[in-house]
Structure 1
Amino acid sequence: METLTPTLDHRVVPLTVSAGEGHAQAQPWARTLWAAALGQVALLTLLSLVSDLNPAGWLAAAGYTAVVFSGLASGLRRTGRVAFGPADKVTLARSALVGCVTALVADTGHQPALLVGLTVVALLLDGVDGQVARRTGTASELGARFDMEVDAFLILVLSAFVAGQFGLWVLAIGLMRYAFIAAGWIVPWLRVPIPPSMAAKVVAAAQGAVLIVAAASLMPPVIMAGIVAGALAALVWSFGRSVLWLYRHECLIQGAGRPE
């Protein structure tokens, strides 16, 4: 029997299912996740050979990978997708690199140069998956959310590393987005989608660049602390701007709903 099945990239493709096949075979996305898990283990093993990764690093990477894969599996089941698109596979590769960065940050005896190198590659690939999605027509809401979450966690991990040099205040860079999401659980109008903003994109990209420079210790500590503080101030401005837009949007809705 031939049915039309939606894929992760929002296209509809024919899927042939025999009468007795049912769910005996694993979904393609499940096989991809198993392959990605093996890839993550291989990378961590290589990392252990290079930097003598300790158990804390392995546990941190395993926890991160488990949460990511659980979220992906849930999202794929909820949306009825059967496979990852090309761009999503690039994001999976980036996620594996973020898992390695997480392991290095959890391991206090790691090499900063290795951490910086892996982070640079992960951030460079951030532009690749977007281009692949656009060129192949495989952009999807789930893929965009996956990409965003990988970026956010990488910034959180980097801010935790840099906080060891300049103080816990640096963690605000990585925690701000999560605080915003948590606030949305209490204040519903904070969950309204925000229009795309070039200023917000520039500020977000600057966080990664600044944290990499800080992690690499390329500048004197006093100067670097000032630059990191400036990046944090820009992020506060960006989130404040978004909250103000959402508040005004809510006021317009409330005003429109009131009887004359």
Structure 2
Amino acid sequence: MEDRGLPMRCRVSPRLGLELAVALAAMLALALLAMSALAMPAQAAAGAVGIFVAMGALILYQWPDPQRGLGPANQVTLVRAVLVALLAGALGAPQWVEAHALPIAAVAGVALLLDGVDGWVARRYACASAFGARFDMELDAFLILVLCVQLLMMGKAGPWVLAIGAMRYAFVGAMRPWPWLDRPLPERFRRKLVCVWQVGTLLVCLLPVIDGGLATVLLALALWLLAVSFAIDVRWLHRTRPRRS
């Protein structure tokens, strides 16, 4: 039977399906390893798997070309998604997070290192795309929010730390009343540097050797840098917004 009536996004290439299936298998294996080696609670492991399944559904919905697979750069980002989902699932077990701060920081560190790898792969194999850039950006934003919540649960910072993770989502929400915000920004190394600084600071603050006082100073600096970066971009968007005739 022909499927001409199906939307393009309902047609999934076998390669894309296989890539997501392999990633899901890796997610399951990692969750089981965390349960057996680190006594991760079952509800946290199940939450991690559920979060990754939701990520996979979003990828399927947003993937622009049903005839192709993800490609090497997006495959690296997909590996990062597995690690980020594990960190997000751990939010369901606050006491376990506090007792296993070092392994959590290690997982976040690998995710941070891979953040540079996917961009290098995209340039090396000429496979950069708008989807890949968006996938990478949204995963960065989610990772930052997850790490902020973990630090809050560990008592390393007050609720204000959530502003670091919420700023990206507040910016997206502001696009509805102010549509001029929803426009492409020129490439700036500053944004990537600030993003890496945020994740690096959050990662360092997870370490047991960093007490609440030092964490507060480091996180306040990270929040200030992020606010300045957003302010620069908002100012540029406002100055270049379309004028009504």
Q: TM-score range by the shorter chain?
A: 0.7 to 0.9
| 1:92 positional shift | 1.0
| 1:186 positional shift | 2.5
Residue in structure 2 matching 1:149, options 138, 145, 166? 138
Residue in structure 1 matching 2:53, options 66, 78, 87? 66
Q: Which residue of 2 aligns with 1:10?
A: none
3-state secondary structure, aligned to 1:184: coil
Q: What pairs with 1:67-146 in structure 2 (closer than 5 Å)?
A: 67-76=54-63, 78-108=64-94, 109-110=96-97, 111-146=100-135
Q: Does residue 1:219 correspond to 2:210, yes or no?
A: yes
The alignment's TM-score, normalised by the length of structure 1, stands at: 0.83
Deviations 1:24-66, CA, capped at 9 Å, x for gaps: x952101211111111111100011122222331343133212
3-state secondary structure, aligned to 2:112: helix
Unaligned runs of 5+ in 1: 1-22
- Distance in 1 (alpha carbons) for counterparts of 2:110 and 2:233: 29
- Distance in 1 (alpha carbons) for counterparts of 2:43 and 2:181: 36
May I ask how many residue pairs the two structures share in their alignment?
A: 230
Q: Which residue of 2 aligns with 1:181?
A: 172
Aligned residue identity for 2:194: V
Q: Does residue 1:49 correspond to 2:40, yes or no?
A: no
The alignment's TM-score, normalised by the length of structure 2, stands at: 0.88
Aligned residue identity for 1:88: N
Aligned residue identity for 1:168: P
- Distance in 1 (alpha carbons) for counterparts of 2:208 and 2:67: 44
Aligned residue identity for 1:32: E
| 1:185 positional shift | 2.4
| 1:105 positional shift | 3.0
Q: Does residue 1:37 correspond to 2:28, yes or no?
A: no
Contact 2:102 2:208 in 1 (8 A): no
- Distance in 2 (alpha carbons) for counterparts of 1:26 and 1:138: 18
Aligned residue identity for 2:82: A
Q: Does residue 1:236 correspond to 2:227, yes or no?
A: yes
Unaligned runs of 5+ in 2: 1-10
- Distance in 2 (alpha carbons) for counterparts of 1:26 and 1:127: 28
Q: Does residue 1:203 correspond to 2:189, yes or no?
A: no
Q: Does residue 1:167 correspond to 2:158, yes or no?
A: yes
Deviations 1:80-121, CA, capped at 9 Å, x for gaps: 442110111111111111111112232222411110010001
Q: Rg: which structure is higher?
A: 1
| 1:223 positional shift | 2.3
